[in-house]
Amino acid sequence: MLSAILFSLGVIGFLIKRNLITVFMSIELMLNAVNLSFVTFAHQWHAVKGQIFVFFVMMVAAAEAAVGLAIIIAVFRARATLAVDRIDLMKL
Amino acid sequence: MHLILFFIFAALCLAGAVNLLLQTHPINSALSLIVVMTSLAVLYLLLGAEFLAAAQVIVYAGAVMVLFTFVIMLLNAGREERTLGSRAARVVGFPAVAAFLALLATVLLKAHGLGRAAMQEGVTSTDDLSAVLFTKLLLPFEVTSVLILIAILGAVALTRHGDGERSASK
- From the list B71, B80, B118, the residue facing A73 with the nearest CB is B71
DSSP H helices, chain B, are 2-22, 26-46, 50-55, 65-75, 87-88, 94-110, 114-117, 126-133, 138-169
Give the C-alpha separation, B25 to B103, whole Å: 32
Give the C-alpha separation, A33 to A56, whole Å: 15
Q: Cβ-count burial of A28 within 10 angstroms (0-12 exposed, 13-18 middle, 19+ buried)?
A: buried
Residues B119 and B147 in one domain: no
Give the C-alpha separation, A10 to B35, whole Å: 15
Residues B29 and B53 in one domain: yes
Q: What's the pLDDT at B168?
A: 47
Question: What would the pLDDT profile of B18-44 be if each residue is shown by its tens digit?
Answer: 787 777 788 888 888 888 888 888 888
Residues B87 and B13 in one domain: yes
Residue A44 within any structural domain of the chain: yes
Q: CB under 8 Å to B103, separation ≥6 — which residues?
A: none
Backbone angles phi, psi at A87, to 5 degrees: -95, 75
Question: What would the pLDDT profile of B58-110 be if each residue is shown by its tens digit?
Answer: 888 888 888 888 888 887 766 666 555 566 666 776 777 777 777 777 776 66
At residue B57's C-alpha, the angle toward residues B69 and A18, to 5°, is 35
Do the beta carbons of residue B137 and residue A52 sit within 8 Å?
yes
Q: What's the pLDDT at B10?
A: 79
A11 touches chain B (CB under 8 A): yes
Q: What's the pLDDT at B169?
A: 45
Do the beta carbons of residue A29 and residue A8 sit within 8 Å?
no
Residue B132 within any structural domain of the chain: no
Residues B19 and B55 in one domain: yes
Amino acid at B84: L
Q: Cβ atoms within 10 A of the Cβ of B13, count?
A: 26
Cβ contact A63–B30 (<8 Å)? no
pTM for the model stands at 0.78
Q: What's the pLDDT at A82?
A: 67
* Cross-strand pairs, B124: B49
Residue A42 within any structural domain of the chain: yes
Does the structure show a pLDDT above 50 at B6? yes
Write out residues in chain A with pLDDT < 50, as ranges.
none
- Highest average pLDDT, of B8-17, B115-124, B156-165, comes from B8-17
Residues B86 and B141 in one domain: no
Q: How many domains does chain B have?
A: 2
- Nearest CA among A64, A70, A16 for reference residue B144: A64
A41 touches chain B (CB under 8 A): yes
Cβ contact B147–A72 (<8 Å)? no
Residue A8 within any structural domain of the chain: yes
- From the list B51, B59, B80, the residue facing A18 with the nearest CB is B80
The boundaries of the domain holding residue A40 are 2-79
Give the C-alpha separation, B12 to B35, whole Å: 8
The boundaries of the domain holding residue B149 are 137-170
Residue B37 within any structural domain of the chain: yes
Residue A51 within any structural domain of the chain: yes
Going from the C-alpha of A37 to that of each of A21, A42, A48, the distances in angstroms are: 25, 8, 14
Tell which phi-psi region holds residue B104, choosing left (phi > 0), alpha (psi between -120 and 50) or beta. Answer: alpha
Residue A9 within any structural domain of the chain: yes
Residue A38: closest C-alpha in chain B: B44
- From the list A4, A39, A60, the residue facing B101 with the nearest CB is A4
Give B170's pLDDT tier (boundaries 50, 70, 90).
Answer: very low
Q: How many domains does chain A have?
A: 1
Whether ipTM exceeds 0.85: no
Cβ contact A59–B148 (<8 Å)? yes
Q: Chain B partners of A27 at a C-beta cutoff of 8 Å?
A: none
Give the C-alpha separation, A58 to A49, whole Å: 14
Residues B156 and B111 in one domain: no
B37 touches chain A (CB under 8 A): yes
Residue A41 within any structural domain of the chain: yes
Q: CB under 8 Å to B116, separation ≥6 — which residues?
A: none
Does the structure show a pLDDT above 70 at B166? no
DSSP H helices, B76-137, are 87-88, 94-110, 114-117, 126-133
CATH number for the domain harbouring residue A65: 1.10.287.3510
